[in-house]
Structure 1
Amino acid sequence: PLNRARMADYLGFAGIVDNAYDAGQISSTEQPVEVASIVTSIALHAGAFIEDVMTQYAQPRPWILLQEGGGNTYVSSAMPQKRNPGLLNDTRQSASTAVTLAMGPVIQAHNITPGMGDAKDVRQNGEMIESAVTVLAEWNEVLGALVINPDRALEELNSDWTASQEIADVLMRKYKLPFRAGHHFASEVVDYAKANNIKPSDFPYAEAQKIYAVSAGEMGLPPGDLPMSEVEFRETLDPIAIIRNRATVGGPQPAEMTRMLDAADKALGEQDAWIAARREHIDTALGRLDADFDKLLASGG
C-alpha cells in the first residue's frame, strides 16, 4: 500500500489528512473554497478602506487625499478643477475582481459528487490568489500615496458636534449621573447650538448651565448646577483631549495605538519567520526526494 506519511514527508507537507477518503475526495475541494474566503476577506477590507477614502473626494475641502500625479490621480476630461483618484479606482476594481474570482470555487464545489475536479483547477485557483496579491500591492501604493492634513481634519471635527457624547460619558463616569440624563443634556446643548449656528468651541458656558438646570428637572434629578467647570466643559468638547484621555483597550489614544502597532509588527515578524521555515522545510524535502530518485536511477532500479 501507499506509504502516505512517507509521501507527505517527501513533498514537504507538515502531515497527512488522517482520513484517506477525506484526503483524496473532500479536502482537495474544500481547500480552494477556504482560500477563496481569505481572498474575499482581503478584498472586502480593501474595498471598505477605499470607499472610506473616496468619500473625501466629495468634500469641497478634503483632509485625506492622494498625492497628485505619479499615476495616483489624473485630471478630469470634463472638469479642469477636478482630480480623479485613479489609484483608488484601480484598487477598488481589483478588489471587485478578486471577490468575483473567489466566488468561483464556491460555485464550482456546490452540488457536485465528492472527488470531482471542478473546484481543483490549478490555473483558475492560481489566478484567484494572484488577484488578492494584486489588491494588496495596490492597497500598499494607496497607503504610501495618502496625504493627510491634520489641521483640516481637526477643523472638520470642530465644525460639528461629533464630540457631544463625551459630555454624557464624563457626567456618568466622573459625576455618577445616569447616562440617559447626561445624554439628554448633551442633546439639548446640540439642539440649541444648531438652532443658533454655534460651534462647539464657541458654545457659551452660561447657556450650558441654563440648559443643564432645565434638563435636570426634566429628567427628575435634584436641582443643582452643572458639575463641570467651564474649563472641563470645553475640554470635554475638544477632540484632541478626548483622544488623549481615552483609556479603552484598542482606542485611538497614542499609547494604545503604539501598543497595537508593535503587536502587529510582532505578529507579522512571526508570520514571516513561519513562512521562511515552511519554505526551507519544503525545499529540503524536495531536495531529498530528488536525491533519492537520483540514487534509484543510478542503481538501475
Structure 2
Amino acid sequence: MTAQTMQNEMLLTEARLSAPASQRLVKYHDIPALEHERRQFHEFVAVDRAHTAMIVETGIIGRDVGRSILTQLQRLKTLRPEDFSTDVTKGSFLLQVESFLFDAIGEDFAGQMHTGRSRIDQGATVRRLYDRNRMLDVMDRMNELQAALARQAARHSRTIMPGYTHMQHAQPWVFGHYLLSFSARLHDSFARLTEAYARVNRNPLGAVGLAGTSWPLNRARTTELLGFDTVLENSKLGREAWYAAETIGALSFVMADLNDLATDLHVWSSIEFGLVESDDSYSGTSSIFPQKKNPTALETIKKAAGGAVTWLSTALATFRAEGTGDQAMRDLPLIHSALETTEGMLDLFTGVMDTLIVHEDRMASRLSGSWATASNLADVIVRESGLSFRQVHHIVARLVRNCLRADIRPDQVTGALLDDASFETAGVRLDFSDAMVRDALDARRFVETRVTVGSVAPSEVERMLARAVADADGDRQWVVNARTRLLDAERALDSAVAAIVG
C-alpha cells in the first residue's frame, strides 16, 4: 500500500464510534488484552490459514485472492510473537493481522479473509487451540512426576514407617505404598484432564457471531486442518468458555494432590519427625538462625495450591452474572494462570521427589515402642479365642492403657499382662504365650501378614507398583497420540496451503 492509502485506512471503531478509546481504556483494557493475545500468536496464524484455505476450497473467495492472503500468512508463520509489530489503536490481534495484510496486499484482497467468520468464533477457536496445547504441557509434567514417584516407590517398597490418622500412630505402613497412593491420585487427575480435553478440543470456527452464516462453510474441513476431534455444533455455544471452567476444576484436583503430598513431606521433614528431608538444592536457610534448613520447594508448592482452592468458584462466579450473555462467557483468562501454575508446581515437585532423602532407619525406629500393631493383636485374639471383635477391642485397649501406665513397651508384653487386661474387661483369660503376643505386636510381621488387595503386603506393593508404571505408560502414550494427531493436522494444513500457494 502507498503511504496515502495507509493514512486512509479506517479503524474498525471509527465506522461506528464517534470518539477514539480513552487513554484509560487503552491502558487498562486494550494494551493488556493485546499482550494477552500476543502469546497466542501462532494459534491466530493457524486459524487464519485454515479458514482461508477452506474458503478457497469451497469457492467462497477466489484462488488468486486466497493465494495472496496465504502467501503473507506464511510469512507470519515464520515470525516469533515478539517480532510481530502491533499498534494498539488498531484493536485486537485479529485486526492487527488484518492491518498487516492490508499493508502487504491491499484491503480489497486482505479484507476477504474475514468472510464467513466473526471475531467471536475466530477468537474462541484460537483460545481452544492454545488451551489444548498448554493442557498437553501440563499432562507431560504430570507424567514426569508419576515416573519420579514410581522410582521412589520402587526404592522403598519395603521401607516400613508409622501410618498416621489424626496425626497419631495408627498402623505400620510402607513408604512405597504411601507414594503409590499419590501415583493413583495423579492417574485419576490425569483422567479428569483427558475428559476436559475432549470438550476443549471441539471446533467453534464457523459458529460465527451467534446464529451461523449464509456462507457455505465446510466446518468439517477446518476441524480436520486444526486437529479438532469434532465440530462444536450449536452455533450459540461457539462463543462460550464453559470448557475453561471444567479444565480449571480438573487442574484444581491436581493442585490438591500436590498440596497433600507436600504437606505430609513438610511435616515429616520437621525435627520432631525426621522421616524425610529435602535435598539442599530444593531448600533454603535463615538469615538469623544458622542451624535452619527450610523445605522451601515444598512450601512454594503448598502456597501455590492455596490459591487453587478458589479457581473453580472464581470461574463460576465470573459466569454467574452473564446468563446467556457475552463478554465473560467468551473468555476466562484465569485458565492460563491456572495452567501455568499447575505445570510449574508439577515440574518443581518432580525435582523434589527425584532428590528426596528418606531416612529409612528413622522410619523404622519410630515404630519401636509404638502401639501401631494393636489392631493386629486384636485380630489374632479374635481368630484364636472366638470372642467378638468389639470384646477384643476392649481387651487390647485396656492392655495398652495398663502398659503405658507401667512404662512397658510392646516388645515387653507378656501373656500374663494380656490375661490381666482380658479379665478386667471381659472376665476371661486367654492363655497366650509371650512369644505369640510379641509376634502379633511386631511391626514387620504386621506388614508381612496383610493379605487383602491393595494392602501393604510386599506382594501387593509390587503389584501396585507394576500397575502404577503401566498406568503412567498409558498416560504418556495418550499424550503422544494426542500430539501425533495435532502434528498430522498441521501437516494437512501445510499441504492445503501449499496446494493453493503453489
Do the two structures share a fold, i.e. TM-score over 0.5?
yes
Contact persistence 1:97–1:131 (CA under 8 A): no
* Within-5 A mapping of 1:80-229: 80-101=290-311, 103-114=313-324, 116-118=326-328, 120-121=330-331, 124-173=334-383, 175-217=385-427, 223-226=428-431, 228-229=432-433
CA distance in 2, matches of 1:122, 1:291: 33
CA distance in 2, matches of 1:119, 1:134: 27
After superposition, the Cα gap between the structure-2 partners of 1:128 and 1:166, relative to the gap in structure 1 and judged at 3 Å, is: same
CA distance in 2, matches of 1:78, 1:147: 25
Q: Aligned residue for 1:64?
A: 276
- 2:238 counterpart letter in structure 1: G
| Superposition deviation, residue 200 in structure 1 | 1.2
| Superposition deviation, residue 23 in structure 1 | 4.2
CA distance in 2, matches of 1:202, 1:283: 67
CA distance in 2, matches of 1:214, 1:97: 53
- 1:239 counterpart letter in structure 2: A
Q: Which of structures 1 and 2 has the bigger CA Rg?
A: 2
Q: Single out whichever of 4-13 and 249-258 deviates more from structure 2.
A: 4-13
How far does the alpha carbon of each residue in 1:118-172 deviate from its partner, in whole angstroms, 9 at most, with x for none? 2554754222112111111111122123222222212212233222122222223
Q: Aligned residue for 2:234?
A: 20
CA distance in 2, matches of 1:11, 1:115: 27
| Superposition deviation, residue 230 in structure 1 | 2.4
Q: Aligned residue for 2:283?
A: 73
Over the matched positions of the two proteins, sequence identity in percent amounts to: 24
RMSD: 2.4
Partner of 2:381, secondary structure, is helix
Q: Single out whichever of 200-209 and 166-175 deviates more from structure 2.
A: 166-175
CA distance in 1, matches of 2:400, 2:381: 16
How far does the alpha carbon of each residue in 1:213-248 deviate from its partner, in whole angstroms, 9 at most, with x for none? 33322xxxxx4424x432221121111111111112
Q: Aligned residue for 1:220?
A: none
Q: Single out whichever of 241-250 and 151-160 deviates more from structure 2.
A: 151-160
Out of 267, 279, 287, which is 2:491 matched to? 287
- 1:179 counterpart letter in structure 2: F
- 2:321 counterpart letter in structure 1: N
Contact persistence 1:73–1:84 (CA under 8 A): yes
Count of aligned pairs between the two proteins: 287
| Superposition deviation, residue 287 in structure 1 | 1.7
Contact persistence 1:32–1:119 (CA under 8 A): no
Structure 1 residue ranges without an equivalent (≥5): 218-222
Partner of 2:241, secondary structure, is helix
Contact persistence 1:157–1:239 (CA under 8 A): yes
* Within-5 A mapping of 1:30-49: 30-49=242-261
Contact persistence 2:225–2:490 (CA under 8 A): yes
CA distance in 2, matches of 1:254, 1:119: 52
CA distance in 2, matches of 1:93, 1:120: 30
CA distance in 2, matches of 1:190, 1:248: 26
After superposition, the Cα gap between the structure-2 partners of 1:166 and 1:117, relative to the gap in structure 1 and judged at 3 Å, is: farther
CA distance in 2, matches of 1:56, 1:295: 62
CA distance in 1, matches of 2:453, 2:330: 43
CA distance in 1, matches of 2:352, 2:241: 35
After superposition, the Cα gap between the structure-2 partners of 1:157 and 1:209, relative to the gap in structure 1 and judged at 3 Å, is: same
CA distance in 2, matches of 1:251, 1:294: 59
After superposition, the Cα gap between the structure-2 partners of 1:196 and 1:92, relative to the gap in structure 1 and judged at 3 Å, is: same
Partner of 2:231, secondary structure, is coil
CA distance in 2, matches of 1:173, 1:5: 67
Partner of 1:74, secondary structure, is coil
- 2:476 counterpart letter in structure 1: D
CA distance in 2, matches of 1:65, 1:176: 46
After superposition, the Cα gap between the structure-2 partners of 1:295 and 1:168, relative to the gap in structure 1 and judged at 3 Å, is: same
Q: Aligned residue for 1:9?
A: 224
How far does the alpha carbon of each residue in 1:159-208 deviate from its partner, in whole angstroms, 9 at most, with x for none? 33222122222223454321101100110011101111222112233211
- Give the TM-score normalised by structure 2: 0.53
Structure 2 residue ranges without an equivalent (≥5): 1-215
Q: Aligned residue for 1:255?
A: 459
CA distance in 1, matches of 2:273, 2:492: 63
Q: Aligned residue for 1:29?
A: 241
Contact persistence 2:453–2:460 (CA under 8 A): yes
- 1:16 counterpart letter in structure 2: V
Partner of 1:83, secondary structure, is coil
After superposition, the Cα gap between the structure-2 partners of 1:61 and 1:30, relative to the gap in structure 1 and judged at 3 Å, is: closer
After superposition, the Cα gap between the structure-2 partners of 1:268 and 1:112, relative to the gap in structure 1 and judged at 3 Å, is: same
Contact persistence 2:414–2:434 (CA under 8 A): no
